[in-house]
Amino acid sequence: MSIAFATVQQFLDAPFDTVIDVRAPSEFAEDHVPGAINLPVLSDVERAEVGTVYKQSPFLARKLGAALVARNAADHIEGPLADKEGGWQPLVYCWRGGQRSNSFAIILRQIGWRVEVVDGGYKSWRKAVIGMLHDTLLPHRFVLIDGNTGTAKTDLLQRVAARDGQVLDLEGIANHRGSIFGGMGDQPAQKGFESRLAAALARLDPARPVLVEAESSRIGELSVPPALWAAMCAAPRIEVSAELGVRARYLAEAYADLVEDAELMAARLDQLVPLQGHARVDAWREMAARGDVVELAAALMAQHYDPRYEKARARHAPEVLAHVDLGDMSVAAREDAAAGITRFMEQL
């Protein structure tokens, strides 16, 4: 039997113990239903092999595929599924809800497990994500936390979340801090990013405001999908501020991992040459080489980031609901600011 889901919410609310993606590992790595585990019935190499044989003989390809699926299914049953009891209820999907998922489901059913297959497979999940993030207006009420570089916006967002405020952490979902200095490791694929976003949005209550950090339309290599970007551009803002020197000290601490890697820092600064020219970037590189990290942070903000933020705000002409001065940006000051923002959000 197969079960159809029309929306992201329906997928995530489905009452199954485990969601199993039986596609090849490379397919799963690009994108999958959040929370699903990968039990491939064909590896990447095996899938390519079956595809090659199929061009010569569909019958021989199905025969080869059946043997491979049976072997891999046995490994999964004896391995990851070995501790599952008789009442376990899995949901299985492949690319289209076809042979791979149904073949695995048949074997699981013979054991006695009550298994369902996703009608349309992964493609139906992707269709639901596109419908949510590309084709319709989001029902959420967003409020942006806005401020120049170094105003601890991400830190404040996390502190509001710790106080049970509703937040959407775009940088966390994208695994990137939003500038050329913001790499945090490998980013997800665009499809994977959108799946994570869709799941995060589905968990939020549209009746309550959602705090989200003001970002550009790109976070590292990823694009904010159009429905979310349109909502962010139209959203009112809470503006946070601090003096340049205070921000510089905070930024030097927040990016300590990058500062310690002189070669990486130089490479990131080189990316600014097309925007700022060789002379200015050379001066910044000299600061980095001397270890004048706070001076470098202040120069980058004053000469590069602050002017760009001002231009972006001028384009969108945002409505500012409140202003928060972060003072010395100590932990206590940030905690007080987060408490005030949380109270303010509760009144909206």
What contacts 261, CB < 8 A, 6 or more positions away?
A: none
Per-residue confidence (pLDDT) for residue 182, from 0 to 100:
61
Q: Is the distance from CB of 40 to CB of 50 less than 8 angstroms?
A: no
The single-letter code of the amino acid at 82 is: A
Q: Is 265 exposed, middle or buried (0-12, 13-18, 19+ CB in 10 A)?
A: buried
Per-residue confidence (pLDDT) for residue 315, from 0 to 100:
76
Angle between helical axes of 58-78 and 99-111 (0-180°, round to 10): 40
Q: How does the average pLDDT of the chain come out, rounded?
A: 93
Which residues in the chain belong to E strands, given as ranges?
A: 2-3, 18-21, 37-38, 90-93, 116-118, 141-146, 167-168, 209-213, 218-219, 222-223, 237-241, 320-325
Per-residue confidence (pLDDT) for residue 55, from 0 to 100:
94
Per-residue confidence (pLDDT) for residue 32, from 0 to 100:
98
Q: Which of 247, 346, 266, 261 is nearest to 306 (CA)?
A: 247
Per-residue confidence (pLDDT) for residue 252, from 0 to 100:
85
pLDDT tens column, 160-185: 999 999 999 999 999 987 676 666 56
Per-residue confidence (pLDDT) for residue 41, from 0 to 100:
97
pLDDT tens column, 295-339: 988 999 999 989 888 887 777 667 899 999 999 999 999 999 999
Q: Is the distance from CB of 241 to CB of 148 less than 8 angstroms?
A: yes
Per-residue confidence (pLDDT) for residue 183, from 0 to 100:
60
Q: What is the pLDDT averaged over residues 259-281? A: 84
Per-residue confidence (pLDDT) for residue 122, from 0 to 100:
98
Q: Is the distance from CB of 40 to CB of 28 less than 8 angstroms?
A: yes
Tell me how far the alpha carbon of residue 189 is from its chain's centroid: 9
Q: How many CA atoms lie within 13 A of 232 on its CB side?
A: 22
pLDDT tens column, 122-149: 999 999 999 999 999 999 999 999 999 9
Per-residue confidence (pLDDT) for residue 317, from 0 to 100:
67
pLDDT tens column, 37-82: 999 999 999 999 999 999 999 999 999 999 999 999 999 999 999 9
Q: Is the distance from CB of 39 to CB of 22 less than 8 angstroms?
A: yes
pLDDT tier at 261, thresholds 50, 70, 90: confident
Residues with a catalytic annotation lie at 94
pLDDT tens column, 221-257: 999 999 999 999 999 999 999 999 999 999 888 777 6
